[in-house]
Homo-oligomer: A and B are copies of this chain.
């Protein structure tokens, strides 16, 4: 039950941007240095964030990335979805013919996992990027 680092770094990097940007673009190099994330890895992550309209890019010198939505509007769920991280705790497809057990009927636990997924999804749906920043001063 682990979140992958890509998603974690994505949230981390966007939180960093929310803190350090005032309309100006934030370069991945800066994020990399501040958050200790590999620059090459960040590039890969931001590619997806860009494709999914979470950020837009500014090329050339003094370039970087800019959040498209404000931190108050940006749902954490949007970030996860951008990285193909559907919240799906088990592999069973809702629509598909095949259930998790390969049979045509749903297994005894199916509804439970659906509930779980919904529960987690709601959390990510309701949390905004700005919520992450709130208790920042509480630490260190």
Contacts and interface: CB of A to CB of B under 8 A. Distances in A.
Interface of A: 1-4, 7-8, 11-12, 15-16, 19, 35-37, 76, 80, 85-91, 100-103, 105-113, 116, 119-120, 123, 127, 131-133, 135-136, 138-140
- By Cβ-Cβ distance, the 10 closest A-B pairs, closest first, are A3-B89, A36-B101, A15-B108, A12-B109, A105-B140, A112-B132, A119-B123, A11-B109, A1-B87, A8-B90
Nearest to A109: B12
Nearest to A111: B135
A90 B4 CA distance: 8
Nearest to A4: B1
B109 A8 contact: yes
